Every structure is written in structure tokens, then in C-alpha cells.
Amino acid sequence: MSNRYLVKAAGLVVVVGIAVAGLLVWYGTRVPNSTFDSAASSNLSDAALVQRGEYVARSSDCVACHSLPDGPAFSGGLEMATPLGAIYATNITPDDKAGIGRYSLADFDRAVRHGVAPEGRRLYPAMPYPSYAKLSDEDVRALYAFFMQGVGPSEVANVPSEIPWPLNMRWPIAMWNTLFTEPGTFAENTEQDAQWNRGAYLVQGAGHCGSCHTPRGLAFNEKGLSDADEQYLAGALLDGWYAPSLRNDPNTGLGRWSEADIAQFLEVGRNQHAVVYGSMTEAFNNSTQFMTDADLGAIAHYLKSLPGDPERDGKPWEYMAAKDSAFTSAGGHLYETRCASCHGNDGKGQAPWIPPLAGATSALIAVSDSAINISLNGSLRVVADGVPDAYRMPAYREQLTDLEIAQVVSFVRTTWSNSGGEVDSQAVARLREHTDPASPTPIVLHMR
């Protein structure tokens, strides 16, 4: 082949490459369509609409991510760790400069349901728009009314992300969205009743429960966005905590919970099986306890319809009392002196105030992070109806060595028929390095 043909071929490759690159950049920065036009932004000051928007904001737990305990509500600043670097939640108050004060309803819709800010800037999927895509037009409009009419503006500046170039380029997120999100709002299942559909809408959409409780793929995508996928809500490790299965798995999920148990847990933060801890504490403190009994019942009804996986979950747990000799081990002695006064030598706790450790999900799953994390760092305050809980799990970070925490956690995870297995001091050391003590201050944020 002559040099002339090689030059032509190379030129063609360059032209095609430029065209493809241009197409990708266009695709990645294009502004998606919104169902709202300019007229939809009018008549947003109606008190009932704003109140409905506040309820949607509570159901969506917006305040927990977009606020800091010592700052104005919704002014952003919360650090979120990602494998690529830290990002920070943004100011979503109606401030014209720092917030979203200049957003039209269509702009707001694109950000919430499509993950696209004005001028085509893509949002990182730490913003749970893959779930919020299911929100109805009515709820998005009410949510916008609340943020524009019911939230005070704040001039707190946004914190830039710490993701380095070129990983911080956002246009490739459009391709990620194409692969891992589902377009369209929630579609009712005509084979199910109204309560089931309401629960599905809240869990899949506003509640974005899958963001924590669904396992992630290699591209950090949720492996399912609805009950159509058997991995949806099957449990996942996130930020040092294991969010358990919300399916009817008898060991690691809700198989032993009734609908009433689930609704009680979401309403008051505790039941006969467990007390909220880890990230779920903030979800309870700022979201679920403010929801209506009907909606909590709908969520429980929906979750109890999700089948478990006996092959994954194993034989159902059955209680077996610990032998006296078990307490002569190093871990057993630590448990008896440090833990038994609250959780009992029988491991059954003092429900509903102090949870049982016998049969606890954290003691049955192979992943040990939750059991280690709460032993190291304790639990956040549970605040129900404005009253802080008096029974907070203390932090043993300063009192026990890595080896001692490994010993007592291993005891709990291998006693009373618990099948989680032993842990070693290296696992404790890793979490000690990458986690912080839980705040003793109640984390409850006012939205107005």
C-alpha cells in the first residue's frame, strides 16, 4: 500500500474519531426533555401544595444528605466518599447564587429525575436520581413548590469535588445512565392492590431504599431498580455498614418480621428484632418517622411480598442457648463483662429498647463490617418524636484493642446458633482507620 493511501486512511480514522468524540460529547451534555413547561411554574404558593412537597421531601430524605447538623437546612456540604474521591452535597435552598433559586420547574425536574443540572452538567449518581426518576409529576411539582416557598435561602457556597481530572469529567455519566437507569415514572402493577402499589412507589422512588440495600456492580450501579430483579434489596455493604436484605430472607432479611414489625421499626425506630443503627438511624431520624401510618403500612406490605432466596440465605436460624463454658473464652469473658448487662447472657437483649444479638442480621451474615463498626464507634442517637434515646450503644474504640474487639465480635457471631463466623484483628484495624466515632449528638434536622 502506497504512502498516499496510508495518509488517506489515517485521515479518515482521524475524521471518524473526531466525529465520534463530538457525538459522545453532545450526547453527554445534551439537556433532556422535561414534562413541565413554563406555565407549570406558576401557582406554586398554594399552602396545600407546599405542605405536600414537604412530605415528599421527608419521604425522600432530602435533608439528611443536603444538610449538616450545624448548618442551615438544605445548604449542602456533606462529604460523600466515592472510589474516585470525595464529593460534597450541594446547596439546594432557593438562594439565587449558591442554591437553586434560579431553577425553573423544568430545571428542577431534570436535576431530580434525570440527574442533569442546567446547561447539561451531569450529576454524580450519589444523587439517587435513578430512583427519583419514578416520582410522579405531581410529587415533583409539589417538591419544587416546597423548596421555593417553604425553605429559606442560604448563601453557603458549594464545596468542589475532590475527584481529580480526567476522572471528574461528567459527560461520560450520560453513557452510564443509558446502561444503568430506567426511564419513565413509576408504573402501577395492575395485578396488585392499591396498598402494594403505594408501597412499591415509596420504596422504589422517593425512599430510594435500593441505593443502600441493593448490591452494586463493577460500575457502581445498583443491580436492580425494582422487584423485577431478584437482587433488588438483597443487601449490600456501603460505607462500613451492611444494609441488610429487605426481602423475605429468614436469616439476613425480613423473613422473621411481620408487616406490623416493619411498620413499627420505621415509625419508632425499634421493634422486637432490632433498633435502627448506622446509616439507617439518620433515615429514621429525618424521614420515616414523619411518614403516615398508611404509608408505613404500604411499605411493609410491599416488602413482605418480595421473596427471599433460600439458596443464598441458608437454613433458617433457630435459637440455641450458650453453654456456660462459652463464657470462659477471651471473647466470652469480654462479652460477659462489657455486653451482657444490656444484651443478656442469653443474647436476647431487652426488646424493644436494647436489641437482641442472638439472631441479629449482623451476626448471621458473612460480612462483619456492621458488627465491628458498631463495636468500635457505637451508635448514633435515635430521636423519636423529638426525644433522644437513652439507650445508645457505647463506642469501645478507646477501651478495647483491635484483638479484644475481634474476640468479642467473634463470640457474638458464633454463639446462640449465630453463623456469621469469626473475625480477626486485621479486619478491626482496617475499619478503625477508615471510620469515626458516632456522634453523641442527636442528628435531627429541621427543614424550615
Residues 383 and 235 in one domain: yes
**pLDDT at position 8:** 47
- Over the stretch 358-411, which tens digit does the pLDDT of each residue have? 999 999 999 999 999 999 999 988 999 888 888 889 999 999 999 999 999 999
Task: Please tell me whether 212 is known to bind a ligand.
Answer: yes
Residues 156 and 297 in one domain: no
- Quick count: other Cβ atoms within 10 Å of Cβ 311? 6
Task: Please tell me whether 209 is known to bind a ligand.
Answer: yes
- Over the stretch 131-146, which tens digit does the pLDDT of each residue have? 999 999 999 999 999 9
Which residue type does 22 have? G
Task: Please tell me whether 208 is known to bind a ligand.
Answer: no
What mean pLDDT is predicted for residues 326-340? Answer: 96
For residue 16, pLDDT beyond 70: no
Integer Cα distance of 324 and 140 in angstroms? 58
CATH of the domain at 289: 1.10.760.10
**pLDDT at position 391:** 84
- Please report which residue ranges of 30-68 form alpha helices under DSSP H: 47-60, 62-65
Residues 99 and 212 in one domain: no
**pLDDT at position 389:** 87
- Quick count: other Cβ atoms within 10 Å of Cβ 71? 15
pLDDT band, very low/low/confident/very high, at 25 (cuts 50, 70, 90)? low
For residue 1, pLDDT beyond 60: no
Q: Which of 36-45, 58-67, 77-86, 96-105 has the lowest mean pLDDT?
A: 36-45
**pLDDT at position 60:** 97
**Residue at 283 is within a domain:** yes
Task: Please tell me whether 273 is known to bind a ligand.
Answer: no
**pLDDT at position 20:** 43
**pLDDT at position 161:** 93
- Please report which residue ranges of 116-273 form alpha helices under DSSP H: 129-132, 137-149, 173-180, 194-201, 210-213, 259-268
Task: Please tell me whether 66 is known to bind a ligand.
Answer: yes
Residues 269 and 172 in one domain: no
**pLDDT at position 15:** 45
What mean pLDDT is predicted for residues 422-443? Answer: 83
- Residue 401 sits in which domain range? 194-434
**pLDDT at position 83:** 81
What mean pLDDT is predicted for residues 265-282? Answer: 95
Residues 247 and 396 in one domain: yes
Among candidate residues 142, 177, 212, the one where a domain is terminated: 177
- Over the stretch 92-112, which tens digit does the pLDDT of each residue have? 999 999 999 999 999 999 999
Residue reference for cell 414489625: 261
**Residue at 440 is within a domain:** no
**pLDDT at position 19:** 45
Split into its structural domains, the chain has a count of 2
Integer Cα distance of 408 and 403 in angstroms? 9
For residue 56, pLDDT beyond 60: yes
**Residue at 5 is within a domain:** no
- Quick count: other Cβ atoms within 10 Å of Cβ 380? 24
Strands 79-80 and 241-243 come out as unpaired
Among candidate residues 177, 202, 235, the one where a domain is terminated: 177
**Residue at 353 is within a domain:** yes
Task: Please tell me whether 339 is known to bind a ligand.
Answer: yes
Q: What is the mean pLDDT of the chain?
A: 90
Asked if residues 364 and 370 have their Cβ atoms less than 8 Å apart, the reply is no
**Residue at 10 is within a domain:** no
Integer Cα distance of 60 and 143 in angstroms? 10
pTM: 0.91
**pLDDT at position 437:** 80
pLDDT band, very low/low/confident/very high, at 270 (cuts 50, 70, 90)? very high
Half-sphere exposure of 43 (CA within 13 A, CB side): 3
Task: Please tell me whether 342 is known to bind a ligand.
Answer: yes
Integer Cα distance of 222 and 232 in angstroms? 8
The fraction of the chain above a pLDDT of 90, given in percent, is 76
**pLDDT at position 119:** 83
**Residue at 442 is within a domain:** no
Task: Please tell me whether 434 is known to bind a ligand.
Answer: no
**Residue at 443 is within a domain:** no
Task: Please tell me whether 333 is known to bind a ligand.
Answer: no
CATH of the domain at 134: 1.10.760
DSSP class per residue in 219-244: TS-BS-SSTTSTTTTS-EEETTEEE-
Query: How big is the CA angle at 375 (ends 256 and 389), to the nearest 5 degrees?
Result: 70
Residues 148 and 220 in one domain: no
**Residue at 384 is within a domain:** yes
Which residue type does 35 have? T
- Of 256, 252, 364, 235, nearest in space to 304 by CA: 256
Residues 389 and 243 in one domain: yes
**pLDDT at position 37:** 74
What mean pLDDT is predicted for residues 326-339? Answer: 96
For residue 18, pLDDT beyond 50: no
- For 183, 264, 303, the CA distances from 261, given in Å and listed in that order, are 33, 5, 12
